[in-house]
Every structure is written in C-alpha cells, then in structure tokens.
Amino acid sequence: MQSNLAYSAYSHNNVSIESSEKLIKMLYEGILKFVSLAKRSMEDGNVEKKTYWINRTTAIFSELINSLNYDGGQIAYYLSGLYIQQIKLLAEANLTNNSAKLDEVLNVTKELLQVWKDETDYVMD
C-alpha cells in the first residue's frame, strides 16, 4: 500500500520502478524538484502554486516516514526525526514566505540523495 502511494506520485512519468533503492532515489529527486518549484512560486508571489508544491513535498516526506523499517536499527529513528524537521521547515516556509527555509530543505535533501547514491553504488559494486 505504501509503495503504491509513492508509485502513483511518479506514474505520470511512465517510469517503471525496479527496486526500492530506485524508488527512494526518485522520491528524493521529487522533493528537490517540488521544493525548487515552490521556491520559484514564492518568488513570483503565486501563493496557490507555492502551497501546492509544498503540499506535494510534504506528502513525499510523509511517505518516506511511513516506509521506514524501525526494526533495522537507529537509522530509521534518525531519519524519522530528520524528515519531520523538514516537514516543519516546509510549513514555516509556507506560512512566512521564507525561502531560506526551503533552501534548508533543499540542502538536506541533496545530502540525503548523495549519501543514498553513494551507498547504493557501494552495494552494487
């Protein structure tokens, strides 16, 4: 069920999901795209679009939280807290039109994506 929600978010791109590793990468990339669009909408003064893109991003973080495996160790608890913090930043950015909060989300997500890529590349080798 959880992966079905994430899949539907990207099915319009006609991308087949080959693995959970690819799905996580796609979700992080989606966050980067949606936050960038929210930031642009904020700069343009388009409140409706800004809210739309922030809500889409929040949905991805929620999906990531729901898919965490807490039996796997402390990393799941760390990621849960990190994702919740990103959701808080998104809400603050939406309420205050503070693009610096969106920049924080972008920076954290870029780091997460890079670590994820490094780890999956390492496992594949």
Residues in the chain, overall count: 125
Helices 47-66 and 20-44, packing angle to 10 deg: 160
- Do residues 84 and 65 make contact, with C-beta atoms less than 8 angstroms apart? yes
Where do the domains of the chain lie, and which CATH numbers do they carry? 20-124 (1.20.120.340)
80/47 Cα distance (integer angstroms): 28
* Among candidate residues 64, 54, 2, the one with its CA nearest the CA of residue 27: 64
pLDDT digits (tens, 9 = 90+) for 52-77: 999 999 999 999 999 999 997 899 99
Query: Which pTM does this prediction carry?
Result: 0.81
Name the band, by pLDDT with cuts 50, 70 and 90, for residue 18: low
Q: What does the pLDDT read at residue 98?
A: 97
CB 44 within 8 A of CB 54: no
Mean pLDDT to the nearest integer, 79-98: 97
| Rounded (10°) CA dihedral 3, 13, 52, 25 | 50
